[in-house]
A and B are shown apart, each in its own frame.
Chain A
């Protein structure tokens, strides 16, 4: 396995794609650092290119093995499929670490002052560790897809689709879980006529609340106020237990769900807002579970795959 890793590291070193992606990730880290330093918000929009670059890199680099037919050389050289597979997984994790380094170095240089002033060091370190774990999950996901699909173009498309599907799913779950159990209604069909005192306040622009006026044919103006109804109705979009817990777990299992949780927590520290009750201590465990499942599925499928 070490021989394959050595060979692949040599190939990466010689690859223009590797250096191009590394440079792009370095720039992305700098841009993200500037975004945090100037807006004091950890916005996920500026971090998205990192995942797209990872998807492109693993699809194209592993896809080249199939396109050039060089995957065959390893099998013919007496390497088992298990050796090739686990060498590729190890290599992907190593490459991810290099990419993470390229992202974090400019990010920390630019954003460290802003972060250090607002966020405790322990939170920064634990968030960073969790973020690294979630990057590993992304990398292994893209690797497994690329090693199972011989066409690099199709692998790249599937990896991009998977990234956006996971992102949208995480957002959707987060939105659904944020729904209130009851929602208030406003009674606008039966307007309530305002008292003379209230009319006086309304004319002076001092009335608190919504109101409107009507005038009849003789020019008499009548003021009405819009009264909020006391009754509340059950929100049909509210998700009750146990589904809310299940959905919450799914959200945190998704690497994008974890990312969102980290980013919103870091942002809340910037504005001294109250922390949400997020089980951050479980995130690395969730990531490890995802890694184990992905690696196992990939291994079973790769062993059965006919190579050409």
Chain B
């Protein structure tokens, strides 16, 4: 598999505080890589490191096969676009002027692609309006447009959905999918809005306390989700006794309901409950969410 980014044993310390701790990570080409972790887990620090804003204390990373110690890492970095901790735009300038500044920084000879870029992010009608008068969603999209100026192959988005209203979130999601599918841009998104991330990501990396806990593709993740069945009955005592005798793992969620994990053989279970005069009120399968999965593995890491 081709990797856009590979991180090997990366560590970042601020004085005595270790923010990134021996972290390993691989972002496959063409993926939408969801980088999941709670606030302070080290997501933004890692992004700052791979974007060259800060130097790692130890370890290394390679971008398109170029090690960060090599002199031509700056040239390789031109293949990246990034929006880190909010959009990096000049608030006192129009959308077009912001793009012109970035075009000049990149030394691009022509502004011909600017209207296309503005159309791509849905800002083609902003005219003379300055960025300070934009909504947060528009600013985020302008930030992405600035990041796209150099026609990058790899886009890094740090919490792109933070603070957006539902409409803004939908627009952002559609833009991310469009960039990945139509422009074949590999995207790394850090987020703690996991439900939204689950709608776009093809790969996940779970980080906690500066360490990568798990990397997994969305296909593998779906397989790994533990099946859970919620059963409601009239007699909780009977149900728990039967489940114990069938060696099923379960948790009691209320006076009349339990969540049963793993495969449940419904017919023998219902028959045994009926024999003991316990009526089954309802049975339905629950989908485990990305959030539950993350909390499970983070909890697991803490107790390990």
Contacts and interface: CB of A to CB of B under 8 A. Distances in A.
Interface of A: 2-4, 6-7, 10-11, 14-16, 64, 68-80, 306-308
B88 A69 contact: yes
A7 B101 contact: yes
Nearest to A3: B107
A14 B101 CA distance: 11
A15 B106 CA distance: 21
B150 A75 contact: no
A3 B104 contact: yes
A38 B82 CA distance: 58
B226 interface: no
B205 interface: no
B124 interface: no
Contacts of B52: 75-76
Contacts of B92: 14-16, 64
Contacts, number: 87
B82 A72 contact: yes
B77 interface: yes
Listed residue (A16, A73, A78) with the most chain B CB atoms within 10 angstroms of its CB: A73
Which of A11, A69, A75, A76 has most B Cβ within 10 Å? A76
Given A15-B92, A307-B54, A74 B105 contact: yes
Contacts of A69: 84-89
A77 B51 contact: no
A239 B249 CA distance: 90
B281 interface: no
Given A4-B105, A7-B101, A7-B104, A76 B87 contact: no
B34 interface: no
B74 interface: yes
A76 B147 contact: yes
B266 interface: no
Given A69-B85, A77-B77, A78-B77, A11 B90 contact: yes
A307 B105 contact: no
Interface in B70-109: 74-78, 80-82, 84-93, 97, 100-102, 104-107
- The 5 A-B residue pairs with the shortest CB-CB distance in the complex, in nearest-first order: A7-B104, A69-B88, A78-B78, A3-B107, A307-B53
Contacts of A71: 88
A263 B51 CA distance: 50
Interface in B251-279: none
Contact of A73 (B76, B100, B146): B146
Interface residues of B, number: 35
A222 B218 CA distance: 114
Given A72-B51, A76-B147, 12 more contacts: A10-B97, A14-B93, A64-B92, A70-B88, A70-B90, A72-B88, A73-B88, A73-B102, A76-B53, A78-B75, A307-B54, A308-B53
B105 A77 contact: yes
18 contacts: A2-B107, A3-B104, A11-B90, A14-B93, A16-B92, A64-B90, A68-B90, A69-B87, A69-B88, A74-B105, A75-B52, A76-B52, A76-B147, A77-B77, A77-B102, A78-B75, A306-B53, A308-B48
A3 B106 contact: yes
Interface centre among B52, B55, B80, B81 (most CB of A within 10 A): B52
Contacts of A306: 48, 53-55
A14 B91 CA distance: 12
A76 B80 contact: yes
A79 B105 CA distance: 9
B48 A7 contact: no
A3 B51 CA distance: 20
B105 A68 contact: no
Contacts of B100: 10
Contacts of A72: 51, 53, 82, 84, 88
B281 to A, nearest CB: 55
A72 B89 CA distance: 10
Interface in B107-133: 107
Contacts of A78: 74-78
Contacts of B80: 76
B93 A73 contact: no
B39 to A, nearest CB: 16
Contacts of B88: 68-73
A94 to B, nearest CB: 15
A76 B81 contact: yes
A27 B92 CA distance: 25
A99 B213 CA distance: 56
B101 A77 contact: no
A59 to B, nearest CB: 16
Contacts of A73: 88, 102, 105, 146-147
A193 to B, nearest CB: 80
B86 to A, nearest CB: 6
B113 to A, nearest CB: 16
B73 to A, nearest CB: 9
Most chain-A Cβ atoms within 10 A of its Cβ — which of B54, B74, B84, B90?
A: B90
